[in-house]
Chain A
Amino acid sequence: MAALSLSASAGEALVLGLATGPVCLATCGPVVVPWMLVQPQGVRGHGRQLFLFLAARLAGYLVFACAVWLVGSAIPHALPQSWTGRSWLMGGIQLLLAAAMVVYAVGWPHRRCAAAKTADALVQIGETSVPKRSGALALGFLTGINLCPPFLVAGFRAAQLAHLSAALLFFLCFFAGTAIWFFPFLSLGFLKRTPEVIIVARMVAILLACWYGFSGISILIERTFHG
């Protein structure tokens, strides 16, 4: 009976993820597109980066699942959907996401050989650049805890489950349903990476960071003045 109940909620989570995938895509797609366009061309490389992104996103999902189940089990009734605290959280996460996008758009930090600065005539021998921090983990985690509407629906549902493991399984299946919608982004690996494409991608990331930042600040201001 318990196994049946568990598989039923897993099925429900998978279907919820598949059905609400477009909303996840709308929330997180604008983050993924410019970020991927800055990565070097190649489907394999993109696959690796997307895997890291989704893994970090799953980590975010599971962290949220734990938190929401613990809160749900501490409070006798499920959290009301009009829980005002979520606005503070949403605003804060959107600001963090905006900041992360600016860092990874402007920087995509990597170190050069120090000697290369002193003389242009120096010939570079061997591999000198440190592997770039692509931002897959940071952006993946932040989008994983971004409180979009279907995420909240899944959260409230998971909070009602009897065991923590059930909540984690629920979110794992929900993640699987939404992750399927991200695979078409692999096709960005075929796009030629001219310097212009990379510059435009960085600009788009900055514009989107401004949008997320504006959205986050608006939410926080509204919460401050309207309670």
Chain B
Amino acid sequence: MEVKEKRMRTRILSILAYTGAGLTLVVAICVPFVLFQVFTNVVAHVGLHIDPAYSGGTVARTIDRGGYRIVVYQPVQPRLLERIEPFVQIVFEPADALPARVTDEIDLDGDGRPDVRVSFNLPADPNTPLRGDVTALNATYISLASVGGESFSRMVVRTGNKIVVRVPLNRGTVH
């Protein structure tokens, strides 16, 4: 009786094992046609976002300058022990609508008063490295002189058809 039970259990387990193996093969076949897209969509809809240190954060306001726009982002503060300075990202777009020399005073905190002056010469060749200056008009921000892509908190760079400027904030500033 015991031997019979043992044989029955072995048989059931084997059936389950081979069924599982067969399903594994089915899954393997489905990967490029169905599962790849399913898993991609699941990951995309879980509600994850890229670290603001890389993405620049969320948009605070857009300033229309006629031919081009200036997009001002929310300040980004370092999380936990993240080794970046707090900064504010400003994006000028589209880059091909910008004049050869850009000098702009921008209100970053929405209080109606300009906070920084950004100036840079836009090279005709988009592959030429860009350098620019940021002059802080109040103590909240830190000025930058002839900066390119120094760090994630201090930069004036071209990415595609946009100019990305990141202005560091003084650490004691509360936002």
Contacts and interface: CB of A to CB of B under 8 A. Distances in A.
Query: Do any beta carbons of A and B sit within 8 angstroms of each other in the complex?
Result: yes
Interface of A: 22-23, 26-27, 81, 148
B171 A81 contact: yes
Interface of B: 80-81, 171-172
A22 B81 CA distance: 10
Contacts of B81: 23, 26-27, 148
9 contacts: A22-B80, A23-B80, A23-B81, A26-B80, A26-B81, A27-B81, A81-B171, A81-B172, A148-B81
A27 B83 CA distance: 13
Contacts of B172: 81
A29 to B, nearest CB: 10
Nearest to A80: B172
B53 to A, nearest CB: 15
Contacts of B171: 81
A44 B35 CA distance: 46
Contacts of A22: 80
A22 B172 CA distance: 20
Nearest to B78: A149
A106 to B, nearest CB: 26
A33 to B, nearest CB: 15
B128 to A, nearest CB: 31
Nearest to A27: B81
A18 B172 CA distance: 20
A26 B79 CA distance: 10
Given A22-B80, A26-B80, 7 more contacts: A23-B80, A23-B81, A26-B81, A27-B81, A81-B171, A81-B172, A148-B81
The residue in B81, B171, B172 that gathers the most chain A C-beta atoms within 10 A of its C-beta is: B81
6 closest cross-chain pairs (CB), A and B = A26-B80, A26-B81, A23-B80, A81-B172, A22-B80, A27-B81
Contacts of A81: 171-172
B85 to A, nearest CB: 13
A20 B172 CA distance: 16
Nearest to A23: B80
A26 B83 CA distance: 13
Nearest to A149: B81
B170 to A, nearest CB: 10
A67 B80 CA distance: 26
Contacts of A26: 80-81
A91 to B, nearest CB: 15
A148 B172 CA distance: 15
Nearest to B80: A26
Nearest to A25: B80
A81 B80 CA distance: 18
A154 B168 CA distance: 24
A23 B78 CA distance: 11
Contacts of A27: 81
Nearest to A26: B80
A201 B48 CA distance: 31
A57 to B, nearest CB: 18
A22 B80 CA distance: 7
B49 to A, nearest CB: 18
A27 B172 CA distance: 21
B151 to A, nearest CB: 15
A49 B171 CA distance: 37
Nearest to B83: A215
A212 to B, nearest CB: 12
A143 to B, nearest CB: 14
B13 to A, nearest CB: 26
Contacts of B80: 22-23, 26
